[in-house]
Structure 1
Amino acid sequence: SHPMVSCTPHIGSATVEAQGRIGEELVEIISKM
């Protein structure tokens, strides 16, 4: 841990739109199996 470094989680996939796209991609991946 460094006193001049601050780490935060990435929240880019936290939007409703992003969650919808993730769901669609999962369906596509599972369908190909």
Structure 2
Amino acid sequence: MTFADFSGRSVYHCHILDHEDAGMRATIQVAC
């Protein structure tokens, strides 16, 4: 498994569609 630094926008979310519709999805800004 390879890991690398990441900076920029990323999306985090729940994989249950009803949860996504209820707001468990967002764009975040990652800064390293």
TM-score scaled to structure 1, two decimals?
0.25
Instruction: Determine which structure has the larger helix proportion and give its number.
Output: 1
Higher gyration radius (CA):
1
More strand, by proportion: 2
